[in-house]
Amino acid sequence: MNVKLSNFAPFLSWMRRYRRPHFQADLSAGLTVAVVALPQSMAYALIAGLPVQYGLYASIVPTLVACLWGSSAHLITGPTTAVSLVIFSALKNLAPPGSPAFIELAFWLAAFSGLIQIGMGAARMGNLLDFVSRSVLLGFTAGAAVLIAFKQLPGLFGLTVPKGGHLVTTLFHLLGTLHQSHLITLGLGVITMAVILILKKIRPAWPGTLFALVLVGLLVHIFRLDSRGVAVIGAVPRSLPPFHLPSWDALDNLGQLVSGALAIALLGLVEAVSIAKSISDQTRQRLNINREFAGQGLANLSAAIFSGFPVSGSFTRSAVNFRSGARTPLSGVLSALAVAATVLAAAPLAGILPLAGLAGVLVLVAYDMIHWADLKRTIRATRADAAVLVVTFLSTLLLNIEFAIYVGVLLSIGLHLAKTSRPRIYEEIPDFLTGKMKPAGLADSCPQVDIVYIEGSLFFGSAAFVQEDLLRRLRNHPRAVALLIRMHRINTLDASGVHVLGLLLEEVRRRGGDMYLAGVNQRVFEVFRDSGFLRELGETHLRDTTGSAIRQAMRETFFPEDCSACELNIFQECPDLKKGRWETLGKGVKARTCALPARKAAADTGPPSGLKGSAS
């Protein structure tokens, strides 16, 4: 077994190719990302119900680990709004937010979500995310944005509301106490939002969030507003992320932690991979999704032991990294080091930041989370997309937020299975002049053969539907002795599909006929061969073209009595067959002369459409 060092240290591959000219671009991008990460990390920690320093810690070691062990050159990992909201939702009923017990639970949540992600990467489950539709992500993000903005309103207005209440009851309580708003606090929040919006319009390249928080922090310090009722962040320790193993006492709530960790793992991977793919589409970088799973998992494990909380790919910081000209993952490493240096140098200064300022930042972040154009496009696209989006959105608002993720994913998968379990099946006949296949009309199908075209997969989810449809067609054609299935568009076949074909084969052979398959691809052929169905059917009954399958069915199954009595000309051979010229099907071909008892029983039901009399 050839084990490469790069399998355990994938960063060595790009480090060996690193060139000095790349460093200046990576350094510039890394410092720019750090400027954005500082205020965001503190704000997202508040969403998660944690002291702000844990958001800073989560932007150091996890960011560095994800850049080194991931596969994207531009993805920046750290605290995100959606994951932070799931953290709060998963833990709020287990311990008071911000308490030591709550913090320990957040560490374990990071550890479990990291282990789940690493396991998914090791099992090469990268394609699993294809089943999480865009509608789920849009609905969840919109719902999370509403919850985040709503949660910041008390801090923005300087009000106190009961924690843990339902959305509706908390809203009524907030409206009832709105007249008690602290105007200075509200003013600081409004100033924060105004500065961000103005700079975004006139100087979009500037770090508007950082400028706004510095401004309101200076106002608090100069006018001593903290002594006039303005709530501030408070002391932030000047230290690097401390190494800390989570306490085993927190595992009393293991079941609830694992449930929340699974939701965070899935959401985090969807976020990270979606961001990485969107950037790689522009850079033409080839991603290794399974390695990205492992990188995200290791980042969460490092967050658990270096005083962080669950993390994921950040769209804002990744976009800033890409637009700033980053060339390699070293830009993310440098951003983490810059955040660490800032914490050591200026952490105490963050203590004077007003909570209303961070609340204003988060309100604007929540608004930016809602992709209005994508929402409109998705709702208009299909009913299934609209249903998934709306149900996920409402579940996010009204249910536990981690459960809302499961609802959206399961509904998305369920609707996909419902669609694929109903393949399109229709009867065809050849054009009399050209021989090309076309849909059959109500009165122009051959009484002796059913030619059906199946578009879709023949697997356990669609087997019952296909069986019932084809048996119904055979019941409606009691004199049909041949069933020809065109399989050109069947790419997936499993044991359930083989079982259905076996039942159909038994039915047509009971009538004294047989079944033929045309256009079978290599993958489906291998299923036939390995399951033993090919031996049961007969290799000669698999034909490359529909025309050759039709002629074989005529030679082996058609009854001359039915042909001579038929008024229709479906096939080009029909005129000759009506006159008994069976040699038109090949030299030495003779008409059948034996009618089985089952055939006579079918004749007793009366002549089918297109026949003048009954055949014996």
Q: Please, which residues have CB within 8 angstroms of residue 350's CB and are 6 or more apart in sequence?
A: 42, 52, 217, 233, 236
State the pLDDT confidence band at 304, using cuts at 50, 70 and 90: very high
Same structural domain, 376 and 461 = no
* Domain total of the chain: 2
Choosing from 415, 446, 471, the residue where a domain stops is 415
Residue 14: both structure tokens together: 């790009």
How would you write 431-474 as a 3-class SS string? CCCCCCEEECCCCCCCCCEEEEEEECCECCCCHHHHHHHHHHHH
Same structural domain, 302 and 381 = yes
Choosing from 415, 447, 464, the residue where a domain stops is 415
State the pLDDT at residue 294.
Answer: 92
The predicted-structure confidence for 7-36, as pLDDT tens digits, reads as follows 678 888 888 888 888 899 999 999 989 988
DSSP code string of 90-135: HHTTTS-TTSHHHHHHHHHHHHHHHHHHHHHHHTT-GGGGGGS-HH
The predicted-structure confidence for 62-107, as pLDDT tens digits, reads as follows 999 999 999 999 999 999 988 999 999 899 889 999 999 999 999 9
The predicted-structure confidence for 505-527, as pLDDT tens digits, reads as follows 999 999 999 999 999 999 999 99
Range of the domain at 567: 424-603
State the pLDDT at residue 247.
Answer: 87
Same structural domain, 108 and 202 = yes
Q: Is the pLDDT of residue 600 over 70?
A: no
Same structural domain, 486 and 557 = yes
Same structural domain, 155 and 213 = yes
pLDDT over 70 for what percent of the chain? 94
Residue 435 CB: number of other CB atoms within 10 A?
12
List the CATH number of the domain containing 505.
3.30.750.24
Same structural domain, 86 and 175 = yes
Same structural domain, 339 and 435 = no
Most confident residue range from 152-161, 185-194, 196-205, 282-291:
185-194
Separation CA 439–CA 380 (nearest Å): 31
Triad 456, 489, 385: Cα angle to 5°: 35
Let me know if residue 553 belongs to a domain. Answer: yes
Query: How far apart are the two ends of the chain, measured CA to CA in Å?
Result: 70
For CA atoms 55, 57, 62, 63, the dihedral sign is: positive
Choosing from 383, 398, 415, the residue where a domain stops is 415
What value does the mean pLDDT take over residues 581-610? 63
Q: Is the pLDDT of residue 1 over 70?
A: no
Q: Please, which residues have CB within 8 angstroms of residue 499's CB and are 6 or more apart in sequence?
A: 463
Same structural domain, 429 and 395 = no
Same structural domain, 109 and 205 = yes
Let me know if residue 38 belongs to a domain. Answer: yes
Let me know if residue 204 belongs to a domain. Answer: yes
Let me know if residue 7 belongs to a domain. Answer: no
The predicted-structure confidence for 425-468, as pLDDT tens digits, reads as follows 999 988 888 888 888 875 578 889 999 999 999 999 899 999 99
Q: Please, which residues have CB within 8 angstroms of residue 124's CB and are 6 or more apart in sequence?
A: 290
Partners of residue 460 on adjacent β-strands: none
What value does the mean pLDDT take over residues 222-236? 91
State the pLDDT confidence band at 274, using cuts at 50, 70 and 90: confident
pLDDT over 90 for what percent of the chain? 50
What value does the mean pLDDT take over residues 239-249? 91
| Average confidence score pLDDT of the chain | 87
Same structural domain, 118 and 228 = yes
Query: What DSSP designation does 580 have?
Result: T
Let me know if residue 8 belongs to a domain. Answer: no
State the pLDDT at residue 44.
Answer: 93
Let me know if residue 4 belongs to a domain. Answer: no
Q: Is the pLDDT of residue 599 over 60?
A: no
Measure Cα distances from 219 to 216, 232, 358, 585 in Å.
5, 12, 14, 96
The predicted-structure confidence for 143-193, as pLDDT tens digits, reads as follows 888 888 888 889 899 988 766 566 777 788 888 888 899 999 999 999 999
Partners of residue 458 on adjacent β-strands: 493
Same structural domain, 79 and 140 = yes
Same structural domain, 443 and 498 = yes
State the pLDDT confidence band at 210, using cuts at 50, 70 and 90: confident
DSSP code string of 313-362: E-HHHHHHHHHTT--STHHHHHHHHHHHHHHHHHGGGGGG-BHHHHHHHH
Separation CA 261–CA 95 (nearest Å): 16
Query: Dmax of the chain from CA atoms?
Result: 109
The predicted-structure confidence for 562-587, as pLDDT tens digits, reads as follows 898 888 888 998 999 988 888 888 88
What value does the mean pLDDT take over residues 604-616? 40
Helix (H) or strand (E) holding 428: strand 424-430
Residue 540: both structure tokens together: 């000669």
Indicate whether this model's pTM tops 0.75: no
Let me know if residue 15 belongs to a domain. Answer: no
Residue 326 CA to its chain's centroid (Å): 28
State the pLDDT at residue 469.
Answer: 94
Where is pLDDT greater, at 609 or 238?
A: 238
Triad 566, 567, 568: Cα angle to 5°: 95
Strands (E), 547-610: none
State the pLDDT at residue 7.
Answer: 64
The predicted-structure confidence for 324-349, as pLDDT tens digits, reads as follows 888 999 999 999 999 999 999 988 88
Residue 51 CB: number of other CB atoms within 10 A?
20
Q: What backbone torsions phi and psi does residue 429 show, to the nearest 5 degrees? A: -140, 155
Let me know if residue 14 belongs to a domain. Answer: no
State the pLDDT at residue 377.
Answer: 93
Q: Is the pLDDT of residue 607 over 50?
A: no
Separation CA 447–CA 566 (nearest Å): 8
